Amino acid sequence: MDSISLKMKASPAVVPSWLILLMAACAGITVANIYYSQPILKEIASEFGASESSVGMIPMLSQIGYGLGLFFITPLGDKMDKKKLILSLQYLLIGALLLLYFSTGIVAVWVLSVLIGLLAVSVQVIMPMAAGFNLQEKGKNVGIIFTGVLVGILAARVFSGTIADLLGWRQVYLVSLIAVAAGTIVLTVFLPSGKPNFDGSYSQLLQSALFQFKRFKLLRRLAFIGILQFGLLSAFWTTLTFHLSGSPFHFGSGIIGLFGLVAVAGALVAPLMGKKTDKGGVTKVRFVAAGLVLASILMMWIGQHSVVAMVVGVLLLDIGAQSIQVSNVALMYTLDASSHSRINTIYMTLFFAGGALGTLAGILCWQFGGWNWVMLQMLLSAFGIIWLLSREKRDFSQQKL
């Protein structure tokens, strides 16, 4: 299966550094659409007369759509011109955002949330495209795009909370539509075209991606850790809106969105922890990161009515969770370089599936047991990560990868 040939049909393009920065900005603007809903769930529920559990489905459905797009759409970047694929997804995303702005009911919001997540996977086509430019600067280019994506994800909560407070929740998506349209115009003008490099059929491409999961034990371990890590993080950010909008805080969407700034600070620390990419060093970093996640959960459980405890807890949680993700990616790219795109497809598909499952579990826990049950769910996930890390450490020592 893995013998399917990949043939380069054109020399790698050489592009100016400013184009990489523009691609990173467009990637951040695009991926942010998956996360805008988290601080404004209360406003959406209020307008449509929907329950917390109903609006809590919105971020989960966005993640499901993104996961489906990762598996079924992003591999097409190896079979067709990446520029054409990116622009097609961007134009369709603009249409979906317009429909969401005019949506008249919660069911329409659900459907469009799936569609927006599905179309936002253009980000995962932009990233490997950037890696193919200026090959001597591949790591730098990917790092710039990854930073743009990370900033887009974390700043989305601050942006949506602020805009919703000032103008209403619908305007969040109207402003986003304008930003995505502007980015799409930039990509249309400046992004170079490129010929496909996969000779097999679409079904062969998907089968080859699936084979990577069977092929590498380390990939399976990383995927399960990613599922738990993103699952607990998604459960937290979805239910945090309900927790902070209720007693004793009674915060509005603007204040809730500001917690995203704390998350940005945490994410900026995470890459520093992920610098050690040798197996011994990265294992130590991963245990420290898991310990931070565990400490943050206990802090926000015990001090659930304290603003200070919540702020410090968010900081520690994001440092720990993002450090686990950074080290996951570092380890993933130690596997077969010729299969990186397909390996990434499998890992990221399962990663976002974990986010969707975590969101659903968080909603159910909130519905039946409030914040205490949410914290219990996150605690169990954290212990699961620590157990998997202990198995990983053993495999590294025995070289069973």
Q: From CA 387, how far away is CA 225, in angstroms rounded?
A: 10
Q: Residue 106's pLDDT is what?
A: 96
Whether 7 is covered by a domain: the verdict is no
Q: Residue 275's pLDDT is what?
A: 54
Domain co-membership, 272 together with 354 = yes
Chain-wide mean pLDDT for the chain? 86
Domain that holds residue 295: 202-401
For tokens 């909130």, what's the residue? 366
Domain co-membership, 176 together with 319 = no
Domain co-membership, 215 together with 194 = no
Whether 5 is covered by a domain: the verdict is no
CATH number assigned to the domain comprising residue 232: 1.20.1250.20
For residue 313, give the amino acid letter: G
Whether 1 is covered by a domain: the verdict is no
Domain co-membership, 259 together with 343 = yes
Domain final residue, candidates 199, 214, 236: 199
Domain co-membership, 343 together with 269 = yes
Domain co-membership, 258 together with 269 = yes
- Asked if residue 176 lies in contact with residue 33, where contact means CB atoms within 8 angstroms, the answer is yes
Q: From CA 256, how far away is CA 245, in angstroms rounded?
A: 8
pTM of the entire structure? 0.78
What tokens does 183 get? 């980015």
Q: What is the pLDDT of residues 191-214, one digit of tens each?
A: 998 777 667 788 888 888 899 899
Domain co-membership, 84 together with 171 = yes
- Angle at the Cα of 169 from the Cα atoms of 164 and 171, rounded to 5 degrees: 90
DSSP SS3 for 278: coil
* Ordered per-residue pLDDT tens for the chain, 401 residues: 444 434 434 445 678 889 989 999 999 999 999 999 988 999 999 999 999 889 989 998 998 999 899 889 988 887 888 899 999 999 999 999 999 999 999 999 999 999 999 999 999 888 778 767 765 666 567 667 877 887 898 789 889 989 999 999 999 999 999 999 999 999 999 999 877 766 778 888 888 889 989 999 999 999 999 999 999 999 999 899 899 999 999 998 888 878 888 877 776 666 566 555 444 567 788 899 999 999 999 999 999 999 999 999 999 998 899 888 878 877 886 787 667 677 888 998 899 889 889 999 999 999 999 999 999 999 999 999 999 999 887 776 666 55
Number of domains composing the chain: 2
